[in-house]
Structure 1
Amino acid sequence: MPELPEMENYKNLLNQKINGKIISNVTVTREKTINTNVELFRQSVINKRVTKVSRRAKHLIFELDSGMNLLLHLMLGGWMYYGDEHDQPDRTKQVTLSFGTNQLFFIGLRLGYLHLLNEQQLQEEFKELGPEPLDPIFTYESFLDLVQKRKGMLKTTLVNQSFIAGIGNCYSDEICFQAQLNPKNKFNDLSEQQIKALYDAMMTIFHSGIQQGGYMDSPFTKEDQLTGKYQTLVYDREGQPCPRCNGTIILEQVSSRKTFFCPKCQR
């Protein structure tokens, strides 16, 4: 499932391609992907200009000049491709937004969605989300305040979207590895030095993930050489040698979530 680095990468690429452009047509092949009837959706979107693409947690927001927004959550298996009628994946598209001769294809949205929302509805969707870790105001001091009363395990707490927005299975494991902490450790057992290591690891992993286009390897365009270049440190590497201590990476279920870590150097 795409997490913060993948969605931030998409956001940057989308702003390069469609920011300021007018949606000339809309095709919906799966009505469950949207939250209105197809005709209303089309009427609300066609001939509207995309003024900005922004991100909140694992969501993208396509801001329209009408004041309405398209809220995207890719969920498991969802991805996007920007091309034309001669350059498009041979896959079923749930929604297609046309920008003249170019098109933005939404693919694999069996669990994901593209909803039409006004500003009030949009904020209602986000009311339970925690802080954005890339926000300049998310300092170490604010993180320290955030964890003061936390008692749960690192893994289960980090993936809790009401704690910090945007972290999922992959990057929770990557962050714990970078901080040299076992994901089964509990927050209330951490020293202040370990909390600082966790915060620093979060910043390092997120910036590295974004700079390398995230870990999902489906290109956004035919010329896209960035998306999917992030090489995970421990996630999905069961049985492989640890890149730090040469121990063996293991897989365990932590609260029903797949969790990868090195038991030798993550203590």
Structure 2
Amino acid sequence: MSDWPEIETYRRLLSPLVCGLTIVDTTVHRIKSINETAEEFHDGLAGHKILFVERRGKHLIFHLDDGNRLLVQLMAGDWIYYGAEGETKDDDYAIILTLEDGNRIFFGGLRYGYVHRLTAKKLIELIRPLGPDPFDPRLTADSFAKLLGGKRGKLKTALTDPKFLSGIGSGYADEILFEAELHPGLLNASLSEEQKRKLYDSMRKVLEEAAENGGTAEHPFSADSPVVGGFRGRFKVFEREGADCPRCGGTIALETVSSRKQYYCPNCQKEA
């Protein structure tokens, strides 16, 4: 997974380590992971300082002192490693950024993910279609209820629609709906105001708990890495088909709807 909790974990870990430092070198082993030539990528980054690191939904954004941005999109199986040396040999990483203090940021995988250097204007154009972040201060319980009430379709589809909310993948949607005691197939318009508030609170609770435990990352962040991937063993319904429900003792079910899996407890997440 590379959803809100995983990307937020990387943001929290990287920010105190790289902000204020200058990129002095770049290494590109997978040219398809960038949006320009390796030479242009190097020339556009070397000598520029990282001002701060931001997260927008499932995207990690490095703000540079020349006004440009480095947009990182991690997909399943991608990861970030930090240190003077990689966990494995350099050739195993798609992209490496070397910082002035001798430490490096290693981007692993990136078969479908990418690290793109963009102007601020281009970045705004790319992320404009995204819905609000689950923790956007403007997304209050009341505004969330209003948005959900105006969204046609079913709950899980809404939660995983990046144009409605940015950052929530299928697994976390299952966990959020379980926490809220709501069936994934319920129509958005059918929820009471109380249920909408419970869904809002559950969304923030599950995502923050996942981030505090390092999400589901499979790779360490550094040689002395804090907890990363600690949420993998904390799922209550996701990928637990046939197991006992931790709330009511029922049996966790798996359904496939429009080619998408959904895990839930039929006993305490009623469809009607």
Q: TM-score range by the shorter chain?
A: over 0.9
Moved over 3 A (4+): none
User: Cα offset for 1:107?
Assistant: 0.5
- Matched with 2:262 is 259
- Matched with 1:104 is 105
User: Cα offset for 1:126?
Assistant: 0.6
- Matched with 2:27 is 27
TM-score normalised to structure 2 length = 0.94
1:196 has 2:204 as partner: no
CA distance in 1, matches of 2:265, 2:149: 26
CA distance in 2, matches of 1:211, 1:76: 20
- Matched with 1:95 is 95
1:245 has 2:248 as partner: yes
Return 5+ residue gaps in structure 1 as ranges. none
CA distance in 1, matches of 2:225, 2:250: 35
CA distance in 1, matches of 2:248, 2:144: 28
CA distance in 1, matches of 2:208, 2:154: 24
Check whether the contact 1:184–1:254 (CA below 8 A) recurs between aligned residues: no
Return 5+ residue gaps in structure 2 as ranges. none
2:110 partner SS: coil
User: Cα offset for 1:151?
Assistant: 2.6
CA distance in 2, matches of 1:137, 1:7: 21
User: Cα offset for 1:166?
Assistant: 0.7
CA distance in 2, matches of 1:16, 1:252: 42
CA distance in 1, matches of 2:172, 2:16: 26
- Matched with 1:180 is 181
Check whether the contact 1:215–1:232 (CA below 8 A) recurs between aligned residues: no
User: Cα offset for 1:163?
Assistant: 0.4
- Matched with 2:239 is 236
User: Cα offset for 1:76?
Assistant: 2.1
2:172 partner SS: helix
Check whether the contact 1:96–1:106 (CA below 8 A) recurs between aligned residues: yes
Q: CA RMSD in A?
A: 1.3
User: Cα offset for 1:105?
Assistant: 0.7
Give deviations 1:137-195, integer Å, cap 9, x for gaps.
21111101101222311111110001011111111111000000111111112122211
Check whether the contact 1:94–1:107 (CA below 8 A) recurs between aligned residues: yes
CA distance in 1, matches of 2:262, 2:112: 23
CA distance in 2, matches of 1:58, 1:255: 23
What percentage of aligned pairs have identical amino acids? 42
Which segment is superposed worse, 229-238 or 7-16? Answer: 229-238
Task: Name the amino acid aligned to 2:215.
Answer: G
User: Cα offset for 1:242?
Assistant: 1.1
1:80 partner SS: strand
User: Cα offset for 1:254?
Assistant: 2.3
CA distance in 1, matches of 2:183, 2:28: 45
Give deviations 1:100-156, integer Å, cap 9, x for gaps.
421111011000010010100000011100011111221111101101222311111
Give deviations 1:61-105, integer Å, cap 9, x for gaps.
0111111111000012111111223x4235721100011421111
CA distance in 1, matches of 2:217, 2:177: 20
User: Cα offset for 1:251?
Assistant: 1.5
Which segment is superposed worse, 178-187 or 253-262? Answer: 253-262
CA distance in 1, matches of 2:77, 2:257: 22
Give deviations 1:209-243, integer Å, cap 9, x for gaps.
12111122322112123211122121122222111
Task: Name the amino acid aligned to 1:224.
Answer: S
Which segment is superposed worse, 117-126 or 228-237? Answer: 228-237
- Matched with 1:43 is 43
How many residues are paired up? 266
Task: Name the amino acid aligned to 2:201.
Answer: D
1:260 partner SS: strand
Paired residues for 1:1-267 under 5 Å:
1-85=1-85, 87-89=86-88, 92-99=92-99, 100-230=101-231, 231-267=234-270
CA distance in 1, matches of 2:88, 2:164: 37
